[in-house]
């Protein structure tokens, strides 16, 4: 039987990137005591009031077909949110709901890219980006983020990467996996670069509310760049709703009309009860989330302090997000080899930096979503292994 050549191109770009985590997860399910520092799954359940709102919506019959671009009350809520943030009027016609920002990015890539086009992607990058982009048949041009500059995107690196085939820049700020946060001035410079080279700018803002150092800035909020910017975001990390798959895209009305054509070919509407819960999440305050944000910030300091005690590893203090990048190159191992050996010999699961691109080679990613005890244990075992390898 014959299959699309695309399936061969995508093989290994999904769950394959998470092989260390998958092995650790299976061992833990089998009863082994594994310290899980590998995945960004919030450590608290979805706030009970949000769950109650979804249950109420289900019971009231909100289980029928939904409107293709999203339920009007949610689109109005999101439009109000971005109007207040940007200081200009954003209409509901500039917003569409998706089952997660992953799906929103897929639809945007299908809308803005085709075979022969190029998309500039800062490297390292979120592990799922590569498969999403390759599905559009466009080519990825990696823009290296240097550890010695705190993984901050540099305009000079963008200028070196641009070609006549470049069509889109994918910006992730705050950045996963590195935790780097771009200054408002740098965001403006990046947006100006896109205008100068007539590029679309997709802004992945999944970690907007998780900043420990600096100020969040979006090119969409800068009037002169708004028409070439598309935001993707969700409630997954901000509201501990990873399994709900509730996200959205925000852009100009013109871009949205093209995006809707793609979206409705993929799916015609998403669950009304989930959209009701999303609106409730976005319009209410939850003390559980305040504590979750505080936990992440405290754990970021904790990991930095613990790993900073060793010369066998180098820790990059995150400015935001829920991860810490750890440089294990002093051990002589790749991030991939270090992560596998750490799991095999010390029962600690982390993510190899190589899962996120060439620029993260020789690093591992540590998640801040584990509890303090596991983070302490994990960091102690990382140091033990690293120092054993360098002979300190």
| Domains of the chain, each with CATH number or no CATH | 5-46+287-390 (3.90.1150.10), 64-282 (3.40.640.10)
Quick one: pLDDT at residue 14? 66
DSSP 143: E
Question: Using CA atoms, how far apart are residues 151 and 316, in angstroms rounded to an integer?
Answer: 9
241 pLDDT more than 90: yes
Model pLDDT for residues 114-140, shown as the tens digit of each residue: 999 999 999 999 989 999 999 999 999
- The pLDDT value given to residue 17: 83
Structure confidence at residue 35 as a pLDDT band (50, 70, 90): very high
Q: Label residue 272 exposed, middle or buried (CB < 10 Å: 0-12, 13-18, 19+).
A: buried
pLDDT at 269 over 90: no
Indicate the angle between helix axes 372-390 and 287-307, nearest 10 degrees. Answer: 20
pLDDT of 237 reads 95
pLDDT, tens digit (0-9, with 9 covering 90-100), for 341-363: 999 999 999 999 999 999 999 99
pLDDT tens digits, one per residue of 284-311: 999 999 999 999 999 999 999 999 999 9
Q: How confident is residue 198, by pLDDT bands cut at 50, 70 and 90?
A: very high
- In degrees, rounded to 5, the angle at the alpha carbon of residue 53 between the alpha carbons of residues 50 and 58 is 130
Instruction: Say what the pLDDT of residue 191 is.
Output: 98
**Alpha-carbon distances, residue 268 vs 110, 220, 253, 276 (angstroms):** 16, 27, 19, 17
Mean pLDDT, residues 149-176: 97
| Dihedral sign from CA coordinates of 246, 247, 253, 259 | negative
Average pLDDT over residues 72-79: 98
* Under 8 Å between Cβ of 219 and 229: yes
């Amino acid at each position: 039987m014959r299959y699309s050549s695309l399936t061969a191109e995508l093989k290994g770009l999904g769950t394959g990137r998470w092989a260390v985590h998958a092995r650790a997860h299976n061992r833990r399910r089998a009863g082994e005591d594994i310290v899980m520092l590998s995945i960004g799954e919030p450590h608290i359940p979805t706030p009970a009031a949000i769950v109650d709102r979804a249950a109420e919506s289900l019971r009231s019959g909100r289980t029928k077909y939904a409107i293709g671009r999203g339920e009007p009350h949610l689109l109005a809520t999101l439009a109000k949110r971005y109007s207040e943030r940007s200081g200009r009027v954003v209409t509901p016609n500039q917003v569409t709901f998706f089952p997660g920002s992953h799906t929103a990015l897929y639809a945007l890539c299908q809308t803005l890219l085709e075979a022969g086009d190029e998309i500039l992607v800062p490297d390292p990058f979120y592990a799922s980006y590569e498969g999403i982009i390759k599905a559009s048949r466009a080519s990825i041009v990696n823009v290296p983020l240097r550890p010695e500059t705190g993984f901050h995107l540099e305009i000079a690196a963008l200028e070196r990467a641009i070609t006549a085939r470049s069509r889109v820049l994918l910006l992730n700020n705050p950045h996963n996996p590195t935790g780097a946060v771009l200054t408002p001035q740098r965001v403006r410079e990046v947006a100006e670069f896109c205008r100068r080279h007539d590029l679309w700018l997709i802004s992945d803002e999944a970690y907007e509310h998780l900043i420990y150092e600096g100020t969040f800035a979006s090119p969409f909020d800068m009037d002169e760049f708004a028409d070439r910017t598309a935001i993707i975001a969700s409630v997954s990390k901000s509201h501990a709703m990873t399994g709900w798959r509730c996200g959205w895209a925000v852009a100009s009305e013109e871009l949205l009309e093209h995006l809707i054509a793609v979206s409705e070919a993929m799916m015609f509407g998403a669950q009304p009860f989930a959209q009701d819960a999303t609106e409730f999440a976005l319009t209410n305050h939850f003390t559980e989330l305040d504590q979750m944000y505080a936990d992440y910030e405290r754990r970021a300091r904790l990991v930095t302090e613990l790993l900073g005690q060793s010369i066998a590893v180098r820790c990059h203090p995150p400015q935001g997000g829920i991860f810490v990048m750890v440089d294990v190159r002093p051990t002589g191992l790749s991030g991939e080899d270090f992560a596998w050996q750490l799991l095999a010999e010390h029962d600690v699961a982390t993510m190899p930096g190589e899962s996120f691109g060439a620029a993260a080679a020789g690093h591992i990613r540590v998640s801040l979503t584990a509890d303090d005890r596991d983070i302490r244990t994990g960091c102690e075992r990382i140091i033990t292994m690293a120092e054993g390898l360098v002979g300190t």
